[in-house]
Amino acid sequence: MKQLGLERCAKEAFQPGRRDILFGAMAMAVAPAFGAGPAAEPRIQRLSPAFDRMVAPGTRVETIATGIRWAEGPVWVEAGQYLLFSDPPANIVRRWRKGGPAVPFFDPSGARVTDPKLIREPGANGLALDRAGRLLIANSGGRSIDRVDLVTRRREVVVDRYQGKRFNSPNDMHVARDGTIYFTDPPYGLTEGDTSPLKEMSVNGVYRLRPGGVVELLEGSLTRPNGIALSPDETRLYVSVSDETAPRIMVYDLDAKGVRNARVLLDAKAMKARGGAGLPDGMKVAGDGTLVCSVPGGMMFMTPDAEPLALVTTGAPIANCAFGERGRVLFMTANDRVLRLPLRAGWQSEG
């Protein structure tokens, strides 16, 4: 689809309908007026009986790491039985194993030398594994997508440009079954954002990197694209938009030609207006299509049609999440800490 057509489609889609109004009303009814201060004890608000098949009643959320400047980008490495998560402003990726503390794994995790007057987040942000089990890094400070062999620690830049221009600061990724990497490129890593003298791109884009190395711009009309995921059948693309004036989660129909039929899946303005901490950010999609997505106020479980199932809250932003331990756990990066939520065995089959 031509970019102009996509922009028009997205604009038309961002008209609140009955679902948006109902969801907004529910959000205002169930979400407490959180600030962005220190996190409180995490708790689960159950919004639908359907959530009981995902998380058993009475299940508690465990805090497994604290003292982090801004926890992000979790990924479970099944081969090593550990969790990796990033801390973009501190320029560190940490590793956590069950029974032990979180320890530095990459330091620095992104750019080795940066000027804070130009680069706000020097470190890695989103993390993922490719089909060969290698670590992929959305290198916010280095403005690239990197790849690391977790055995040898050998690191290489996969891509850092589109049509000859440097990316802004790659933020989050999703790896498709054929190895295609979908990623977002907002300007959050740049100190002055859109007005940064380092910014070469005219858009804050959503991209697709094919296994052969071809980069495609799928969407260039979003102000702050952030979290990204595909539906289990890979025919839908979900993108969080962390725009303070228009926070939302977009959904697109996806095929080999690109994206079409842009529409708002979740309008999060009511949640934000209520005082929910944070903005739409990272997300994951379970094998049954359930979305687990960061929203103002916490981490939301919802159906593919945006029916809310549950909300995990701490009183502070919860930026991202990842399934792990063979699908028996959801890890959440929550401001200055990392959380672990046990899931019902068999609900989410892939770790």
pLDDT in tens, 109-124: 999 988 999 999 999 9
pLDDT attached to residue 80: 96
What is the distance between the alpha carbons of residues 219 and 239, in angstroms, rounded to a whole number? 10
Domain that includes residue 132, residue range: 3-342
CATH of the domain at 272: 2.120.10.30
Q: Do the beta carbons of residue 111 and residue 73 sit within 8 Å?
A: no
pLDDT of residue 37: 55
Residue 81 DSSP one-character state = T
- The answer to the question of residue 237 being in a domain is yes
Residue 114 lies in a domain: yes
Q: Is residue 351 included in any domain, yes or no?
A: no
Residue 348 in any domain: the answer is: no
Q: How many domains, in total, are found in the chain?
A: 1
Torsion angle (degrees, nearest 10) of CA 287, 313, 306, 265? -100
Residue 258 lies in a domain: yes
> What are the mean pLDDT values of the chain's consecutive 10-residue runs (351 residues total)?
40 42 41 48 96 96 97 97 97 96 96 92 97 97 98 96 98 98 97 97 98 97 98 98 97 97 97 95 97 98 97 97 96 97 82 42
In a domain, 8, yes or no: yes
228-264 pLDDT per residue, tens: 999 999 999 999 999 999 999 999 999 999 999 999 9
- Closest to 74 measured CA to CA, from 66, 82, 304: 82
Task: Round to whole Å and give the CA distance between 164 and 145.
Answer: 15
Whole-number pLDDT of residue 24: 47
Per-residue pLDDT at 22: 39
Decide if 349 is inside a domain: no
Is residue 99 a part of any domain in this protein?
Answer: yes
